[in-house]
Structure 1
Amino acid sequence: MTTVLRYAAFTTTPVGGNPAGVVPDASGLTDEQQLAIAAGLGYSETAFLTPDPQGRPGHFTVRYFAPTREVPFCGHATVAAAIAIAERSAPGELVFATAAGPVPVTVAADRDGVLRATLTSVEPRVLEVDPADVQEALAALDWRADELDPTLPPRIAYAGARHLVLAAATRERLARLDYDFDRLAALMTARDLITLQLVWRASATEFHVRDPFPVGGVVEDPATGAAAAAFGAYLRELGEAPATAELLLHQGEDLGRPGVLGVGLRAGDPRVRVSGAAVRLPDPQCGPAGGAHAG
């Protein structure tokens, strides 16, 4: 029988953060079976781990499935999986072999004894975006161009998965999210986007973010580690964050599932670090609660 664990990532309370499924040993599961498990859970992603074929301690192959598709990388399910491993064995160093590349993860207890996982992204990149695609995304969101923050221009950012970054000029604009699901999904599918990273800058180091995820069958992802890593690279590329910085992203507040994501930049290392806690969810109460879902 396949063991399926349930965690909420980027939170220390079960009512916050982003729920994820974790399958500690997916050996022998077919693609169809993994997708069926992910769809049955209804969370934005489930991580499926397979022990390293060479038997190296702390090394796992990891695949990530949303309810409707596989995705190359998922940050919140990585944090959930790493803490699940640490709780079943011990904190320490892990390496996840993902479709996007190897992702080192460190799990350690903070001074309050809370386990926190820090993943190190694959090498990121930030790309220009076609203005026509920006216009189509804004139309699907029902946002106006003059509601964007001109100091944070649209870009496509990648740190394991592709995200379109759009910055709202006000917190109120970010809070009002009611978009055309099918229209946005069509654009994102055509441009190989996993989420939109919608942001509002509260200060130089603190941001509020939201992430529509229609290509995964989810209206909105409550806490998105892959997008957080991509956003850190975006800020550094545009000179909006120093080479070494610690940033805080607040996500999920507008969904009633508040979470906090730490984003670390280090001079001389292009990769981005994303940190957060995770908490085990009680099995009987964990139906499709990972965010707003389609259908």
Structure 2
Amino acid sequence: MAASTASTYPFYQIDVFTDKGFLGNPLAVIVALDPALPFPNDEQMQKIANWTNLSETTFLLPPTDPTKADYKVRIFTPNTELPFAGHPTIGTCRAFLEHTQSKKTNLVQECEVGLVVLQVANNGSIAFIAPPLRKTGPVEEETVKVVCESMGIAREDVLDTQWVVNGPHWFALLLKDAETVLKASRVPTLASKQFEFGIVGQYPKAAAAAAASGEGKEDGNAPFFEIRAFPHVDLIDEDPVCGSFNAGVAQWLIGNGVAPASYVASQGLALGRRGRIFVHRDDSDLSLEASKRAVWVGGQTAVCIQGTIQV
């Protein structure tokens, strides 16, 4: 019996939420836009995602309706498929632009949750509109205590809490400052692993510019917040840089006046990364209630690997 012939597809590994490779959150992208090649099937996609062993692997496909979307994406963790995720959305868009050499600055992505609008800024950063929050409100005190115990955080250092569910069941703890976020000592407990949570702390104005680069030099990306997120998906405890958590936090903290309408967040320092998340609320139409204005969440990207993969 003759062996089946493998097909060869373009392959990218994109670092997301950074302009320098190896400092953000990596994403593998398999490009299946060539109509002459068969599309990988579900089993193949999941097997490849398990093999890359990254938090997410995406498959870039032709859109179902080219009049409505530029491309379609399917997103896989090592063990399951996701309807949407932030850093895979941004990274896949970069792979599409790189592969097609498109100069478009407004794009539409098709995925399981529907159509996602993206924008490409002059500096090359790519942003998506934060999905609506499905659950808000303060976090139950017993849950807060579980997280504090697993992070070595004193309860009095927690200024506020909020559910920011936008698909993933995130909740956030606002700590007294960025230093407290970075010094939190993660000791995973069985109870804490039942939750998807993150911690947020504001930088003092004087320290923000120094934190903007590894060398302490101001580079225009001075962070307003330091963020850490713990999704507990597929054995991942801490996420280097997380788009969905930042999207939820942005809507919460801009909405209650803690954050300005535009800011930069830092994430990943605790893991040796240097992620930067650009947040901007669209205030161009002041007739809209502030809560109904779009919040854009974006970041820069770096291509770290470009080649082919046989499937």
CA distance in 2, matches of 1:50, 1:283: 18
Kept in 1: contact 2:228–2:268 (CA 8 A): yes
Structure 2 residues without counterparts, runs of 5 or longer: 1-6, 206-222
Alignment of 1:207 onto 2:225: yes
Tell me the equivalent position of 2:241. 223
Tell me the equivalent position of 2:209. none
Q: How many residues align?
A: 268
- 1:257-272 → structure 2 map (5 Å cutoff): 257-267=273-283, 268=288, 269-272=292-295
Tell me the equivalent position of 1:22. 29
Shift of 1:104: 0.5
Kept in 2: contact 1:72–1:161 (CA 8 A): no
Of 100, 119, 132, the residue aligned with 1:106 is 119
Structure 1 residues without counterparts, runs of 5 or longer: 285-295
Tell me the equivalent position of 1:280. 303
CA distance in 2, matches of 1:143, 1:30: 46
Alignment of 1:85 onto 2:96: yes
More strand by share: 1
CA distance in 2, matches of 1:80, 1:95: 14
SS at match of 2:91: helix
1:184 is aligned with what amino acid?
S
Shift of 1:145: 1.4
Kept in 2: contact 1:141–1:184 (CA 8 A): no
Provide the alpha-carbon RMSD of the alignment: 2.5
SS at match of 2:191: helix
Shift of 1:108: 4.2
Residue identity (%): 24
In terms of Rg, which structure is larger? 2
| TM superposition score normalised by structure 1 | 0.80
1:112-137 Cα deviation digits (max 9, x unpaired): xxx22121222235512332322233
Change (3 A) 1:5 1:127: same
Of 120, 144, 149, the residue aligned with 1:139 is 149
Alignment of 1:55 onto 2:66: yes
Tell me the equivalent position of 2:129. 120
CA distance in 2, matches of 1:107, 1:171: 29
1:252-294 Cα deviation digits (max 9, x unpaired): 112111011101112334432012111111369xxxxxxxxxx
Kept in 1: contact 2:60–2:96 (CA 8 A): no
Tell me the equivalent position of 1:76. 87
SS at match of 1:104: strand
Kept in 1: contact 2:11–2:306 (CA 8 A): no
Kept in 1: contact 2:73–2:92 (CA 8 A): no
2:51 is aligned with what amino acid?
G
1:20-41 Cα deviation digits (max 9, x unpaired): 1112228743444323222222
- 1:177-196 → structure 2 map (5 Å cutoff): 177-180=185-188, 182-185=190-193, 187-188=194-195, 193=196, 196=197
Alignment of 1:251 onto 2:267: yes
Kept in 2: contact 1:20–1:44 (CA 8 A): yes
Change (3 A) 1:160 1:49: farther
Tell me the equivalent position of 2:251. 233
1:117 is aligned with what amino acid?
I
| TM superposition score normalised by structure 2 | 0.76
Tell me the equivalent position of 1:291. none
Of 26, 30, 44, the residue aligned with 2:55 is 44
CA distance in 2, matches of 1:104, 1:48: 18
CA distance in 2, matches of 1:109, 1:87: 16
Shift of 1:54: 2.1
Shift of 1:203: 5.0
